[in-house]
Amino acid sequence: MPEKEMIKTVGLNKSFGDLHVLKDIDMTVCESDVVCLIGSSGSGKSTLLRCLNFLEKKNSGSIFLRGKEIELKNVDVNTVRQKVGMVFQHFNLFPHMTVLENVMEAPIHVKKIPKAQAAKEAKELLRKVGLGDKMHVFPSKLSGGQKQRVAIARALAMKPEIMLFDEPTSALDPELVGEVLSTMKELALEGMTMVVVTHEMGFAREVADWIVYMDEGRIIEKARPEDFFQNPKEERTKEFLKTTELK
Amino acid sequence: MPSIGHVFKTLIDSSGLFFDAMLITLQLTIVSIIFGIIIGLFFALLKISNISILGYISDTYVYLIRGTPLIVQIFILYFGISGIFLIPDFWAAAFALAFHNGAYIAEIFRGTIQAVDRGQMEAGRSLGMTKSLTMRRIILPQAFRRSLPPLGNQFIIGLKDSSLAAFISMNELFNVATTLGSNNFDEMTYLIIVAFYYLVLVALLTWLVNSFERKLAISDR
Ligand SMILES: Nc1ncnc2c1ncn2[C@@H]1O[C@H](COP(=O)(O)OP(=O)(O)OP(=O)(O)O)[C@@H](O)[C@H]1O
Ligand SMILES: [Mg+2]
């Protein structure tokens, strides 16, 4: 059965002033795939993810969601964003709202879902990420790992078709990384399409369907994890893997 | 200097007159601060709108207000407007004070809105919220909390500044004090009394702002 395309970029370019950050990015993510995006600092991973969500405006190229090109002129970007969930390195929870309110906010105010139903769904999601007992506390009371799981629940509350993660565990104490990764793993097993920027090679090896390696704004290599880690094709990939193993 | 006993006796005797004046001062202050907040928020939003012409309008407003003495603003508004159509003295004074406070409050809001982490706007947008919805639901509530201490300070300044309305013959605290003082050939006594009233009002205002701040802070911790 041919896999169905979820999100695709064709010839995507992005510059910040004179700095050419993304160079002709062609990337396809199929339904239910988990793609781990890796590469050294400054290679453009975050920028690529943010372009997929239109937090950054591309300079040229096309982005397709389920085969339909997203032209900002014709499509309401807010509608697109509802289908594309995003989890940030620094969580970005809303500090003036309780955990439950954080998760209910967008369904109520964007999707106009009745409050009772939004609360019911939010509670289910929070239980699912293991935070059923923290619904009524404020984010400042949570550990980093708990905050990130709330952020995941908050994104899931919009019932996205694809989830983007930008280094979701980089800001966490080492002992809290596992709980977030296992939440993400669970999500992957449920068939969620995911693009994950990460330095967690163990996670990439175990959970990813594809590894995409970026360097200096280009995709250097896209491979299955076993191929990528055992027999990388590109010279630059080999170099990169050497440096990460030293860590 | 008048004796403490004399001041105290005069304070009791004149309390009826001062009470009315205090009400006018309070009304002037409250009205000018409520409108000042609306005006301030409006110009702060213009400033951060990313539309340069609106930013310039906001800058110009703040510059004009901060660059001229309040008494000049009050006179311009009072004589200027009453030359065109009749406006009650109270509202002339209240609007002058509101536009004056508004410039400072605009600066307060601009600062606290910009101090909210950029990630908050991005998180809102990534959930499909529009810019204005994110502003209203996510950014402004956080900015408002941080604005409370400087706003409280501005309220106190606004309260004291309302004394300048005496010069367009509003019978607020300061005007009543100087009038009574010169009628009774006892200026110093009445000045001490009016200072006392201002101190009481400022203490009251400080207490109000502090308890409001505490109430909001509970939910953050
Ligand atoms: N808003 C911006 N304005 C200007 N330059 C930017 C901006 N955002 C990113 N850059 C630059 O673009 C390049 C790529 O940044 P990006 O954040 O995408 O890298 P990254 O691969 O995510 O790196 P890291 O692993 O450090 O997060 C960097 O050189 C960065 O300095
Ligand atoms: Mg990054």
Cβ–Cβ below 8 Å for A110 and B133: yes
Q: Is A86 on the interface with B (CB under 8 A)?
A: yes
**pLDDT of res. B81:** 76
What are the strands, taking DSSP E only, across A46-92? 60-65, 68-69, 84-87
- Taking the C-alpha atoms of residue B26 and residue B89, their distance in angstroms, rounded to an integer, is 15
Residues in B closer than 8 angstroms to A81, CB to CB, are 125-128
Cβ–Cβ below 8 Å for A93 and B123: yes
**Helix residue ranges, H only, chain A:** 45-52, 77-83, 99-109, 115-128, 144-156, 174-189, 201-207, 225-230, 235-246
Helix (H, G, I), strand (E, B) or coil at A219: strand
* pLDDT of B2 higher than 60: yes
Answer whether A243's CB lies under 8 Å from A236's CB: no
**pLDDT of res. B24:** 93
- Min CA distance, A20 vs chain B (Å)? 23
Answer whether A4's CB lies under 8 Å from A31's CB: yes
Beta bridge partners of A19: A16
**pLDDT of res. B218:** 63
Cβ–Cβ below 8 Å for B220 and A140: yes
Smallest CA separation from ligand 1 atom 30, residue: A42
Band the pLDDT of B168: cuts 50, 70, 90.
confident
* pLDDT of B220 higher than 70: no
Helix (H, G, I), strand (E, B) or coil at A11: strand
- Taking the C-alpha atoms of residue B22 and residue B101, their distance in angstroms, rounded to an integer, is 20
What does DSSP assign to residue A28? E
- Taking the C-alpha atoms of residue B164 and residue B220, their distance in angstroms, rounded to an integer, is 39
Dump pLDDT digits (tens) for B81-137: 777 877 888 888 899 999 999 999 999 999 999 999 999 999 999 999 999 999 999
> What burial class does residue B101 get, using C-beta atoms within 10 Å of its C-beta: 0-12 exposed, 13-18 middle, 19+ buried?
buried
Secondary structure string (H, E, C) spanning A16-31: ECCEEEEEEEEEEEEC
- Taking the C-alpha atoms of residue A150 and residue A93, their distance in angstroms, rounded to an integer, is 8
* pLDDT of B186 higher than 70: yes
Answer whether A35's CB lies under 8 Å from A184's CB: no
Q: Hey, what are A243's tokens? A: 């440096």
**pLDDT of res. A74:** 65
Band the pLDDT of B219: cuts 50, 70, 90.
low
Cβ–Cβ below 8 Å for A158 and B141: no
**Lowest model confidence (mean pLDDT) among A103-117, B69-83, B191-205:** B69-83
Dump pLDDT digits (tens) for A17-73: 999 999 999 999 999 999 999 999 999 999 999 999 999 999 999 999 998 888 877
**pLDDT of res. A245:** 67
Q: Is A56 on the interface with B (CB under 8 A)?
A: no
**pLDDT of res. A243:** 83
**Helix residue ranges, H only, B48-161:** 52-66, 70-84, 89-115, 118-126, 131-134, 140-161
Distance between terminal CA atoms of chain A? 40
**pLDDT of res. B129:** 95
CA of A39 to the centre of ligand 2 (A): 10
Q: Look at strands A218-223 and A193-197 and give their pairing.
A: unpaired
Residues B21-49, mean pLDDT to the nearest whole number: 95
For the beta carbon of residue B168, count every other beta carbon within 10 angstroms: 19
Q: Comparing B171 with B83, which gets the higher pLDDT?
A: B171
Ligand 1 pocket test: which of A40, A45, A196 has the largest number of ligand atoms within 8 Å of its C-beta?
A45
Q: Select from B50, B113, B126 the residue whose CB has the most chain A CBs within 10 Å, as the one to mutate to test that interface.
A: B126
**pLDDT of res. A101:** 97
Q: Hey, what are B44's tokens? A: 């702060």
Q: Hey, what are B84's tokens? A: 């065109």
**pLDDT of res. A120:** 97
Dump pLDDT digits (tens) for A69-91: 888 776 778 888 999 999 999 99
**pLDDT of res. B166:** 87
Q: Comparing B219 with A105, which gets the higher pLDDT?
A: A105
CA of B67 to the centre of ligand 1 (A): 42
**pLDDT of res. A246:** 52
- Taking the C-alpha atoms of residue A171 and residue A183, their distance in angstroms, rounded to an integer, is 16
**pLDDT of res. A104:** 97
Ligand 1 pocket test: which of A14, A15, A41, A165 has the largest number of ligand atoms within 8 Å of its C-beta?
A41
- Min CA distance, A92 vs chain B (Å)? 6
Residues in A closer than 8 angstroms to B141, CB to CB, are 96
Dump pLDDT digits (tens) for A128-181: 999 999 999 999 999 999 999 999 999 999 999 999 999 999 999 999 999 999
Cα→Cα distances A107→A87, A153, B163, Å = 17, 12, 50
Dump pLDDT digits (tens) for A174-225: 999 999 999 999 999 999 999 999 999 999 999 999 999 999 999 999 999 9
